[in-house]
Amino acid sequence: MAAAGMSSRKLNDSIAEVTERIGGRSAASRGEYLERTRKRKLVEPARGKLACANLAHVMAASGEDKTRLLQTAIPNIGVVTSYNDMLSAHQPFESYPEVIRAAARMAGATAQVAGGVPAMCDGVTQGRAGMELSLFSRDVIALATAVALSHEAFDSALLLGICDKIVPGLFIGAASFGQLPIIFVPGGPMPTGSIANKQKAEVRQRYAEGQASRDELLAAEMNSYHNAGTCTFYGTANSNQMLMELMGLHVPGAAFVNPNTPLRHALTVAATQRAAATTALGKGYLPFVEVIDERSFVNAIVGLMATGGSTNHVIHLVAMARAVGLKITWDDMADISRVTPLLARVYPNGEADVNQFHAAGGMAFVVRQLIDAGLAHEDVMTVWGPGLAAYAREPFLENSRLVWRDGAAKSHDEKILRPATDPFSADGGLKLLRGNLGRSVIKTSAVDPKLWAITAPARVFESQEALAAALKDGIEGDFIAVVRGQGPRANGMPELHKLIPALSGLLARGRRVAIVTDGRMSGASGKVPSAIHLTPEAAADGPISRLRDGDIIRLDAAAGVLEAQVDAATLQAREPVKPEVHDATFGVGRELFTRLREGATPADEGASIL
């Protein structure tokens, strides 16, 4: 059901052109994906194809569901979970299997946990060696998802995931099972803490400058990260939830409802009921392959730009698209960003957290605005049925019954959310940079526009530890810190967010600084101008490997330029500095990821082995 009062405005010409461009360049690979996936349509319970011994193994420990699993007309839902109780965002998933099994029985189905996938926390590994496993954990999760669903015992699937690499990994793995109905099930953000994200950042900055004690810093962190649920800033985890709404893979409005609440419980039950109702055994068969197409991805990119979402998704979305036969480029994203206004200010792009964003109108308001402005494809298929307009409505409980009402037509707080007719800025929160150093991206939504352009000498470092040490000793004057050897083929492309507090302190004192790196930043990279994901990377002899201390670099986000002001012949004649990867080879399991580093594609091709 569409939200009342929504217009049917013509699709923006640039959005339409990018969509058509993606479809055209992807025709062959997309056609192959559709053909092989549609051939696998299930016309009987998947387990009905299993031999007796295979089926007996499926049912052996199924308890009260054993008799139901023997019945050929009853669908069986496979649950792939990323539960662990160290990661706050995923701890709520502990109780989901029982909730889902009970809901499935009420819906005339059964449900089994098909398998688990790893879920590492970038907040724990930030600045640590384990961060070098983080990006590649996405591909491991994709492989684990495939293993879980490979038993051919399931008629649909529920994927339980929230955080940074988990949702993209689940998506990539699920794409190989596109003949199944597949719904993503989130857990929601933790309640707002007793300290605002901005205050926490200030304590971090003072600690980096030696003005706050470890006890003071730990208290601030614990008051911010204090309960079950996702972190409340708008980083990659919460950007994932936005994407799943814009791609139509959630129950509408499920993204930002807090864990362990009656409404969250009802949404999980609704996801289970929908997964049971849309299998090939009934009349409402709605497989993943018929839900996701190039329009879904364009809507996701529009949402990313409109909300100032995580930089990590310019890598993840490319890899996710390839899993369903679509070829998306950074140029597509840049063209979308140019015509997509910034509608949201959520920390680090503002002072509000995601709970306040939700209260101001949240995803329902954003979706409504994007459709009304002709920036989103409304005529898509979703797991809820035809039309993105269902996601412009918000769920609530009426006498304990889950119902939906039209989302806010006006923002409840224009410091957090604004309409497309009066945005925070006329274009999106991420920009593509080009020049003689290659291609990179910058998250501008959190950066003061006065800092978008800087021309300064390079200070070149081979690791984040080297830069951190130099900052502690003191670096004179304005500079652009070049941190190289951080790409996917060098050390797995870790996030370098731990450097931000010290650099933010320099900005606060009037210094002009920026970062250029072939590594990543957190999706919450903050106020420091950061040209990241630079490709070609140093390990591939990219131009960054030929930079030297003192080279003048120009970074101009408004103009989309990143260049070294060095004569082309001089730059080319220099010997490239190869990353020293020995220290990244062993410890915390890094030796197991050697082949992944060696086989990784460039950042603009998804930084993937798949």
**For residue 7, is pLDDT > 70?**
no
Lowest mean pLDDT among 146-150, 216-220, 260-264: 216-220
Rounded Cα–Cα distance for residues 418 and 499 (Å): 32
What is the secondary structure of 228-261 as a DSSP string? SSB-SSSSHHHHHHHHHHHTT-SSTT-TTPPTTS
Position 194 confidence tier, pLDDT thresholds 50, 70, 90? confident
User: What is the sign of the dihedral through the CA atoms of 7, 9, 12 and 18?
Assistant: positive
Rounded Cα–Cα distance for residues 393 and 67 (Å): 39
**For residue 379, is pLDDT > 60?**
yes
Beta 156-160 vs 76-81: how paired, if at all?
parallel
Lowest mean pLDDT among 190-204, 329-343, 355-369: 190-204
Nearest to 460 by CA among 510, 405, 517: 517
Segment 319-331 mean pLDDT: 98
What confidence tens digit (pLDDT) does each residue in 331-344 have?
A: 999 999 999 999 99
**φ and ψ of 440, to 5 deg:** -150, 175
Rounded Cα–Cα distance for residues 89 and 86 (Å): 9
Q: Which amino acid appears at position 498 of this protein?
A: K
Lowest mean pLDDT among 98-102, 190-194, 365-369, 539-543: 190-194
What is the secondary structure of 436-498 as a DSSP string? TTEEEEEE-TTS-GGGSEEEEEEEEESSHHHHHHHHHH---SSEEEEE-S-SHHHH---B-GG
| Cis peptide bond N-terminal to 118, omega within 30 | no
pLDDT at residue 209 in the model: 79
pLDDT at residue 9 in the model: 77
pLDDT at residue 218 in the model: 85
Q: Contacts for 528-532 with beta carbons within 8 Å, 24 or more apart?
A: 528/447, 528/500, 528/503, 528/504, 529/442, 529/447, 529/451, 529/452, 529/454, 529/555, 529/557, 530/442, 530/443, 531/433, 531/440, 531/441, 531/442, 531/555, 531/562, 532/311, 532/440, 532/441, 532/442
Percent of the chain with pLDDT over 70: 98
Percent of the chain with pLDDT over 90: 82
Q: Mean pLDDT, the chain, as a whole number?
A: 94
User: What is the sign of the dihedral through the CA atoms of 456, 457, 463 and 465?
Assistant: negative
User: What is the sign of the dihedral through the CA atoms of 506, 306, 368 and 161?
Assistant: negative
pLDDT at residue 526 in the model: 72
Rounded Cα–Cα distance for residues 120 and 389 (Å): 34
Tokens representing 272 are 């289970």
What count of other Cβ atoms lies within 10 Å of the Cβ of residue 400? 7
**For residue 154, is pLDDT > 80?**
yes
**For residue 2, is pLDDT > 80?**
no
320 half-sphere exposure, CB direction, 13 A CA radius: 27
**For residue 5, is pLDDT > 60?**
no
> How far from 281 is each of 79, 109, 152, CA to CA, in Å?
18, 11, 15
Burial of 32 (0-12, 13-18, 19+ CB in 10 A): exposed
What is the secondary structure of 276-304 as a DSSP string? HHTSTTSS----GGGT-SHHHHHHHHHHH
**For residue 1, is pLDDT > 60?**
no
**For residue 112, is pLDDT > 70?**
yes
**For residue 203, is pLDDT > 90?**
no
pLDDT at residue 73 in the model: 85
**For residue 225, is pLDDT > 90?**
no
Position 204 confidence tier, pLDDT thresholds 50, 70, 90? confident
**For residue 220, is pLDDT > 90?**
no
Q: Which helix (H) or strand (E) holds 139?
A: helix 134-149
Rounded Cα–Cα distance for residues 261 and 274 (Å): 20
What is the secondary structure of 220-231 as a DSSP string? HHHHHS-SSSB-
Rounded Cα–Cα distance for residues 349 and 189 (Å): 18
pLDDT at residue 72 in the model: 76
The residues, any chain, with a CB within 8 Å of residue 465's CB and separated by 6 or more, are: none
Rounded Cα–Cα distance for residues 16 and 6 (Å): 20
pTM for the whole structure? 0.95
Rounded Cα–Cα distance for residues 25 and 8 (Å): 28
**For residue 126, is pLDDT > 90?**
no
**For residue 573, is pLDDT > 80?**
yes
Segment 160-165 mean pLDDT: 95
Name all domains of the chain by residue range, CATH numbers in brackets.
13-191+227-406 (no CATH), 192-226 (no CATH), 430-605 (3.50.30.80)
Higher-pLDDT residue of 585, 49:
49
Rounded Cα–Cα distance for residues 540 and 486 (Å): 11
The residues, any chain, with a CB within 8 Å of residue 275's CB and separated by 6 or more, are: 77, 109, 156, 157, 158, 181, 183
Position 42 confidence tier, pLDDT thresholds 50, 70, 90? confident
What confidence tens digit (pLDDT) does each residue in 237-247 have?
A: 999 999 999 99
| Cis peptide bond N-terminal to 536, omega within 30 | yes
Position 156 confidence tier, pLDDT thresholds 50, 70, 90? very high
pLDDT at residue 114 in the model: 98
Rounded Cα–Cα distance for residues 328 and 23 (Å): 9
Tokens representing 322 are 């390839």
Nearest to 555 by CA among 465, 466, 438, 462: 438
pLDDT at residue 8 in the model: 59
What confidence tens digit (pLDDT) does each residue in 262-282 have?
A: 999 999 999 999 999 999 999
Whether 45 and 21 have beta carbons less than 8 Å apart is answered as no
**For residue 582, is pLDDT > 70?**
no
pLDDT at residue 157 in the model: 98
Rounded Cα–Cα distance for residues 139 and 175 (Å): 13
What confidence tens digit (pLDDT) does each residue in 469-515 have?
A: 999 999 999 999 999 999 999 999 999 988 888 898 999 999 999 99
Nearest to 341 by CA among 65, 592, 15, 70: 15
Task: Give the SS3 label for residue 530.
Answer: strand
Question: What percent helix, strand, coil does the chain show, rounded to 5?
Answer: 45, 15, 40
